[in-house]
Amino acid sequence: MVEQSKKNGFSTAGLVLGIIGICTSFIPLINNLSFVIGAIAIIFGIVALIQKAGKGKIIVTIILGILSIIITLNSQKALSDSFNAISNDLDNALGSSTEEILANDADVIIGNFEVTNGEYLTETKLNVKVTNKTSETKSFNIQIEAISADGTRLASDYIYANNLTAGQSQNFETFNFVESDKIEEMKNATFKIVEISMY
C-alpha cells in the first residue's frame, strides 16, 4: 500500500509540476523556471512509468512537461527576436549603422561644389541626390562634411530626405551658406558622408 502511494506520488507530483510549468511558460523571465519545472515533471513521469503507476496520468504529465519546455523555448526566442529587431531599428534611427544603410537602403550621390560669383553675393552649393533603395517608404537624415586636403574639417551640413517612397530619388542643395574665407578651400575639399540614419 505504501509502495502504491509512492508510485502515485511521483505521477501526481509530476502532473502538478507539469500544470505549473505550462501555466508559467508564457511569462517572460519566469519561464526560465518553467523550463526546469517541465524537465522535472518529465523525470517524475518517466519514474512513475517505470514503476507502473496509472498510465493516463503519467502520459498527461510527460506531455505537459514537454509542452512547457517547448513553449518556454519558443517564447524566449520570440522575445529575443523582438529585442534584436528593436535594437536594429534603434541603430538605424541613431545612425549607428551608416555603412549598412549606405550599402543596402540608400544611394547618396554627391556632386561637385559650385561657386557662382554674383554682383553683390557669392552663391555656393553642393548637389546631392538621395535614392531610397528599400521597398518601403523611408526617411533619411544625412550629415556631410567638407574635409580639406590636409584633413581639416572645414564645414558640415545636413540633408533631411523625408518620406521617400520605394525607389524614389530627390535632389538637394547643401552648403549654401559658406563663410567667404573658406570658399577657396571648399573648392578643393573632399565631401564625405559622416553619418546617415533611417526611420
Q: Of 71, 94, 117, which marks where a domain is finished? A: 94
> What residue numbers bound the domain in which 19 lies?
2-94
| 22/164 Cα distance (integer angstroms) | 47
Q: Of 39, 69, 94, which marks where a domain is finished? A: 94
**pLDDT tens figures, 57-113:** 888 888 999 999 999 888 888 888 787 777 666 665 555 578 888 888 898 999 998
Q: Are 134 and 166 in contact (CB under 8 A)?
A: yes
User: pLDDT tier at 5 (50, 70, 90 boundaries)?
Assistant: low
Say whether pTM exceeds 0.75: no
User: How many distinct structural domains can be found in the chain?
Assistant: 2
Whether residues 185 and 104 share a domain: the answer is yes
**pLDDT tens figures, 20-52:** 988 888 887 788 888 899 899 899 888 888 887
Whether residues 187 and 107 share a domain: the answer is yes
Q: Of 62, 94, 126, which marks where a domain is finished? A: 94
CA torsion sign, 163 to 167 to 172 to 175?
Answer: positive
Q: What percent of the chain stands above pLDDT 90? A: 24
